[in-house]
A and B are shown apart, each in its own frame.
Chain A
């Protein structure tokens, strides 16, 4: 039996010590009528060699197409050292650091992570992660409602340019707690939030305003004006950001006059592979005055009995295992291994390296847009300043084009009409530092072929 070490002699000795004659007797408290007979639907065991073969075949079936899509998950180079270290048994198979003395490795990693994320976002404090960027936004909205004592409306203003999947997840997770989420409109020609859209809410009880920067279309919003409007109107500000972009962009802690209140985002770009969408990690940072409303774990530095510094989980009274019904969230397990990966990634890149990655990604996207818009039937839909994604408009339906590109080993982009039908035949494309000029040329050639076939048909 795989992974079970017992010999027959072991079993015999153990049964004798317990005082039963068979293992079956150990289940005698379970009513006989409930006992399962057989797990017929489970196939017989495979050896490691056999399962290895199966998984290899499945992996080869899926192959490794060239990635030109982002939309929330980004194909950056992950240094070899990151996952070699993360998958060391001492990190991989350790538990949550509840026994602090036996977990100083994990705890110090998280403390260093908190330091880096706080600084990257320009805020004073960070937690030890949430599940992903989307659920982090839901948690941020709930946190804003808890933290904002004076506001009773639980009203959240969410621009239509916030990642639509994040908005859907926020509805699914926070919808049961009486949040009122109002959508703010955006300009169909620029892809940016309509500033006057907020004015309609001036003077009303708004609990929080969400701003995504860059927005879902990759474009830069007027974050200073929106932040100031929100604070002038007595609302908290929740920023949703891309961590790589923060190497180049003014961090949310410096938006507007006073900076924002809560920052969340998807941490996947920091050393986490694409892996079909998970596991990733959500990060959250905030102003110090809100720290007790922050969900998830937090690591603090303290002293031990000998007066030496050490790390431990702190502010646990907010968490589910103590506060129970009144907990800030029900979160227990979070995304520890990914946080470790991100901390190692950020340590290897440093600020200078991260800036290079961000700048190169922006440039590659520029080159991609130039190459593709040079083709007939392809135009740039939103011309404004952007980070590393762009919206292109085609003269043909997008889905069949993406299918055809897929058959040519290229993931060409994200079809936008599934969330924004008014945008018609548009797709969101992305190129990171991991794409080469040759990759871009290959995409351009493939797209030219596909569009030509579409026209001929």
Chain B
């Protein structure tokens, strides 16, 4: 079973969100997602400054078997993107919730966080996917 930290929120498309408490969030892909993809060979990170809407594709994670879109769980502007992933995409596999973060976004509508899945709800999504 994959790791699903309880302090984070999730999107059904396997992205996680950490509320940084200062009006920004950090996003990445879940442990289930990195396992399903296999060894990542490339990550396309979003441009800093880009305006995103919730549900908009903002990054691509590529393994040998798949190239999947990463959907932004929230609306807002990209304030930072994880450049370290350019040379070492495998960081996402090794530490998906920590060093494998993909982008930091300044929220334009904090209420959107309420619409995201709690860890227990996301666990149901993963269970269904693994059947």
**Residues in chain B near residue A326, CB distance under 8 A:** 67, 69
**Residues in chain A near residue B63, CB distance under 8 A:** 317
Q: How large is the interface on A (under 10, 10 to 19, 20 to 34, 35 or more residues)?
A: under 10
**Residues in chain A near residue B44, CB distance under 8 A:** 292
Taken residue by residue from 57 to 87, chain B's Cβ proximity to chain A (1 for < 8 Å, 0 otherwise) reads as 0000011111101000000000000000000
Whole-angstrom distance between the Cβ of A145 and the nearest chain B Cβ: 16
Contact B66 A322 (CB under 8 A): yes
Whole-angstrom distance between the Cβ of B64 and the nearest chain A Cβ: 7
Which A residues, 29 to 56, have Cβ-Cβ distances below 8 Å to chain B? none
Contact B47 A316 (CB under 8 A): no
**In whole angstroms, what is the CA distance A323 to B57 when docked?**
14
Please, which residue of chain B has its CB at the minimum distance from the CB of A316? B64
Contact B67 A322 (CB under 8 A): yes
- A contact patch SS: helix
Taken residue by residue from 99 to 126, chain B's Cβ proximity to chain A (1 for < 8 Å, 0 otherwise) reads as 0000000000000000000000000000
Assuming A292-B42, A317-B62, is B67 touching A323 (CB within 8 A)?
yes
Taken residue by residue from 145 to 178, chain A's Cβ proximity to chain B (1 for < 8 Å, 0 otherwise) reads as 0000100000000000000000000000000000
Please, which residue of chain B has its CB at the minimum distance from the CB of A323? B67
Residues of A within 8 A of B (CB): 149, 292, 316-318, 322-323, 326
Contact B69 A317 (CB under 8 A): no
Whole-angstrom distance between the Cβ of B27 and the nearest chain A Cβ: 20
Whole-angstrom distance between the Cβ of B55 and the nearest chain A Cβ: 16
**In whole angstroms, what is the CA distance A292 to B43 when docked?**
11
Please, which residue of chain A has its CB at the minimum distance from the CB of B61? A317
Please, which residue of chain A has its CB at the minimum distance from the CB of B65? A322
Contact B67 A317 (CB under 8 A): yes
Could you show 13 A-B contacts with beta carbons less than 8 Å apart?
A149-B47, A292-B42, A292-B44, A292-B62, A317-B63, A317-B64, A317-B66, A317-B67, A318-B67, A322-B66, A322-B67, A323-B66, A326-B67
**Residues in chain A near residue B42, CB distance under 8 A:** 292
**In whole angstroms, what is the CA distance A149 to B44 when docked?**
13
Whole-angstrom distance between the Cβ of B65 and the nearest chain A Cβ: 7
**In whole angstroms, what is the CA distance A149 to B41 when docked?**
22
Whole-angstrom distance between the Cβ of B29 and the nearest chain A Cβ: 15
Whole-angstrom distance between the Cβ of A256 and the nearest chain B Cβ: 26
Contact A317 B65 (CB under 8 A): yes
**Residues in chain B near residue A317, CB distance under 8 A:** 41, 62-67
**In whole angstroms, what is the CA distance A369 to B124 when docked?**
78
**Residues in chain B near residue A323, CB distance under 8 A:** 66-67
**In whole angstroms, what is the CA distance A323 to B64 when docked?**
11
**Residues in chain B near residue A292, CB distance under 8 A:** 42, 44, 62
**Residues in chain B near residue A322, CB distance under 8 A:** 65-67
